[in-house]
Structure 1
Amino acid sequence: MRAMVIEENGGPEVLRPSEVPDPVPGPGEVVVDVTARGVNFIDIYQRSGLYEVPLPFVPGMEAAGVVTAVGEGVEDLSAGQRVGWAMAPGAYAERAAVKASLVVPVPDGVSDEQAAALLLQGMTAHSLTHSVHPVSEGETVLVHAAAGGTGLLLTQLAKARGARVIGTVSTEAKERIAREAGADEVVRYTETPVAEAVRELTGGEGVAAVYDGVGRDTFDAGLASLRPRGVLVLFGQSSGPVAPVDPQRLNAAGSVYLTRPSLAHFVADRQELLGRAGDLFSLLAQGRLDVRIGGRYPLADAGRAHTDLASRRTSGKLLLV
């Protein structure tokens, strides 16, 4: 079968199509014919070596498709079933062997592309708004990169819980996209200092939570945007890692909290995984959640998809199909 194999860390050029043996399911695994794959920043981090992964490897942590073979001990999945997964490697291939414990059924009414576009970023957004900082009705939160794949889902889920959402974007076109997702206020960080705008929009109080997947470029502004005892939820670093932080800064900002969550710790239990995925699929099927697909690429063009995602000029979710 064909797969994109990374043999050394580096830029997008290290993503090379190769012929590799078809996978065989081991105990507790299923083999899936992959129809759609989500492209995520974690793929870039692993490709570049920022996140260490043993070489060589097939990247891709999120996909959807059809089960073709079931390993020993798998009882709740069967051949012919449509499924999706996140937080398991090997998606940049025509077929993948995946731990059954990480695979979720995809219901009728949700397409393979929608499932591949939703699971990793959707469950991330769900865990951030429902568990890391459970959004309360009437509070105001700040979402950085509000027109990105995770930002759009964060905005919608926070709005569904009754929050007022301030989003940050870079362009007028992205502002329109963020507002269509439900953002109440949008700050173009290329034109206006974010913290200053947030203080003005909140009457000087600041926001209850900042959801920041950008990292280095937005961290200081996010910290300065919090109300006393607010929460800075740093869940990514698309602009680069944040420099070490003196805890005294949290005191000076108003006894605020800083957390660096990972989705893996919020879907570690299979019932929690199925619950989060089920909530998202239900909202999607009901038309209460919109998944914006910002680009579709052939599998062989994975390098171009990485370049486009890293440019931060895209909006919505990028897929390899």
Structure 2
Amino acid sequence: MRALTVTDTPTTEGTVRGLALTERPTPRPAAGEVTIDVEAAGIGLIDALWASGAMPQHEGFVPGLEVAGTVREVGAGVVGLHVGQPVAALLPGAGGFAEVATAVAALVTPVPDGMATAQAAVVPINTVTAHLALTTVARLAAGESVLVHAGVGGLGSQFGQVARALGAARVDAVVGTPEKLLVARDLGYDHAHLRAEPATVPDGAYDVVVDPVGGDATARAFQALRGGGRLVRVGNASRAGDVGLSSLAHWLENKTTAGFNVGAWLGDHPEQGAESLRWSLGAVAGGTVRVDLTGTGELADHAAMLADLLSGATTGKLAFLVGRE
């Protein structure tokens, strides 16, 4: 089978890390697993970071955390899934940028009738991350207010919409460009702030602030919390260094900071992953939550597509259309 693998390529200026299309053995499922003939694979920022070497991975590593396609083979002990069944899957260990992917059966869910395969492939990671983070560590309650940094990106757009679906009364965004202010309005945010104008974000105004950016955004996010508020750190898109937050301020101002790493969470709570994936697919299929598939390409188009992600030029989600030749 073909797969996109992390590869070191010698050049006249030294070794360059990137992705390359390679031939690899077709995997077989172990007990509790299924293999999937991948028809589409969602692309996330972390995939671009792996591909560029900004987040190191070993040579031969195959990125891709979410796929949709049909069940190819079923491992021992798997129930409720069968060969040929259209499914979507979370892949916490990656491996989705390939013609065949291996998935833990507990993190595989049938695709709702009528949902396009490419659409199903871009739901698992971001929508599930938003749903699990907001219902677990953020403890979002109906009627609360939420601020989402990078609110129109692939991940941020899901936090905004899932928060609304869970009953948030006010949902605001911070975005990077004036053009994205219009996108935020289209996504249903009550108000959007420019990242370059942090003074417009009110202090002490939000019950939950979601931070996938890091760096200065983290410090501003903490200031935006009201008493009893929760800052949820879900990424480091800025690739900034660690940010220190005062433990005394946490105490005196009655604020909480939590982290949420979906891969680690699913490793400990796989049953929650399956439940959340079903909720997420149903919400998108039913129109409660919108996932904009803004670009597709073949595996061979990886360089340009991942470069767009790294530059911050994208909104919504990108996907590889895979299939077998």
- TM-score, normalization: structure 2? 0.89
Instruction: State yes or no: 1:198 paired with 2:201.
Output: yes
Is residue 171 of structure 1 aligned with residue 182 of structure 2? no
Change (3 A) 1:286 1:11: farther
Q: Which amino acid aligns with 2:230?
A: V
What residue is the counterpart of 2:305 in the other structure? 305
Distance 1:71 1:81 in 2: 14
Structure 1 residues 223-270: Cα deviation after superposition (integer angstroms, max 9, x where no partner): 221112321111000111442415336338723211111113543434
State the 1:117 CA deviation: 0.8
Determine the C-alpha separation between the residues in 2 that align with 1:49 and 1:4. Answer: 14
- Give the distance between the partners of 1:48 and 1:273, measured in 2 at CA: 28
1:168 offset after TM fit, Å?
A: 0.8
Name the stretch that deviates more: 54-63 or 42-51. 42-51
For residues 252 and 197 of structure 1, what CA distance do their matches in structure 2 show? 26
Which residue in the other structure is 1:211 paired with? 210
TM-score (norm 1): 0.90
Contact 1:11 1:47 in 2 (8 A): no
Q: Report how many aligned residue pairs link the two structures.
A: 314
What is the Cα deviation at residue 52 of structure 1?
A: 4.8
From 17, 20, 23, the counterpart of 1:16: 20
SS of match in other structure, 2:155: helix
User: Helix, strand or coil for the counterpart of 1:126?
Assistant: helix
Match of 2:62 in 1: 58
In 1, the alpha carbon distance for the partners of 2:293 and 2:89 equals 18
Hey, what's the Cα distance between the residues in 2 that align with 1:272 and 1:22?
Answer: 29
Partner of 1:147: 152
User: What amino acid is the match of 2:183?
Assistant: I
Greater share of residues in strand: 2
Moved more, 52-61 or 81-90: 52-61
Q: Does 1:295 find its partner at 2:300?
A: no
1:60-103 CA distances to partner (integer Å, 9 max, x unpaired)?
Answer: 11111111112222222110011111223211111122222322
Q: For the residues of structure 2 that align with 1:146 and 1:243, how far apart are their CA atoms?
A: 21
Partner of 1:221: 220
Going from structure 1 to structure 2, the CA distance change for 1:187 and 1:18 (only over 3 Å counts) comes to same
SS, match of residue 122 in structure 1: helix
Q: Is the 8 A contact 1:229 1:257 kept in 2?
A: yes
Deviation at residue 105 of structure 1 after TM alignment: 1.8
1:184 aligns with 2:187: no
Where does structure 1 lack aligned partners over 5 or more consecutive residues? none
Distance in 2 (alpha carbons) for counterparts of 1:53 and 1:144: 27
Cα shift at 1:152: 1.2
Q: Match for 2:143 among 126, 138, 144?
A: 138
Is the 1:224–1:253 contact (alpha carbons within 8 Å) kept by the matching residues of 2? no
Q: Is the 8 A contact 2:5 2:60 kept in 1?
A: yes
Shift of 1:51: 4.5
Report the 3-state secondary structure (helix = DSSP H, G, I; strand = E; otherwise coil) of the residue aligned with 1:26.
coil
Partner in structure 1 of residue 269 of structure 2: 269
Whole-angstrom distance in 2 between the partners of 1:69 and 1:143: 40
2:278 corresponding residue in structure 1:
278
Shift of 1:12: 8.6
Amino acid at match of 2:191: E
Q: CA RMSD in A?
A: 2.3
Matches within 5 A, 1:153-164: 153-160=158-165, 161-164=167-170
Report percent identity of matched pairs: 34
1:123 maps to 128
Q: How far apart in 2 are the matches of 1:8 and 1:102?
A: 31
Aligned-partner SS, 1:59? coil
SS of the equivalent of 2:31 reads coil
- The whole-number CA distance in structure 1 between the counterparts of 2:58 and 2:106 is 22
Tell whether the 8 Å contact from 2:148 to 2:173 is kept in structure 1 after alignment.
yes
